[in-house]
Amino acid sequence: MTDFTHFNAAGEAHMVNVGDKPQSKRKAITEGRISMRPETLRMILEGSHKKGDVLGVARIAGIMAAKRAPELIPLCHPLSLTKVEIELLPEENESSIRCSCHVESVGQTGVEIEALCATQITLLTVYDMCKAVDRGMVISDIRLLEKSGGKSGEWKKTD
């Protein structure tokens, strides 16, 4: 079990000590998608949903999620985030909305979890606000696209 950094030699969970690591600029970009009926997407884009600005509320929820990731993921370090940017792109041909999250920090550990939390909660908020009109929505393709900073340096998804 020593290959997993969140377990000690006895297999017990612990928060990794990052105190001796140098600070560096950290960045993570993630994405995900929510697919829905064309009528639901049209309602969102026209702003005619009775609950209001679906994408605006979802964006704020995602920003909040990035800041609260350590409260959701037990061994995640609390971080001082310097940037959380969420882009919601309608894909009308696929009747979906793609969410892209860009998170940055200067610190001793990465921001991938914060970006992934932001992506998922953004899309889950779209689902929550629209479930009364479309219970068949599907959240999918949540993934890390790129990360930089720290000992492991740069990483980009290749396909």
Residues with active-site annotation: 128
Q: Given phi > 0 = left and psi -120 to 50 = alpha, else beta, which region is 31?
A: beta
Integer-rounded Cα Rg, in Å, for the chain is 18
Query: CB neighbours of 14 closer than 8 A, spacing ≥ 6?
Result: 6, 7, 8, 75
- Which of 15, 7, 18, 3 is closest to 150 using CA atoms? 18
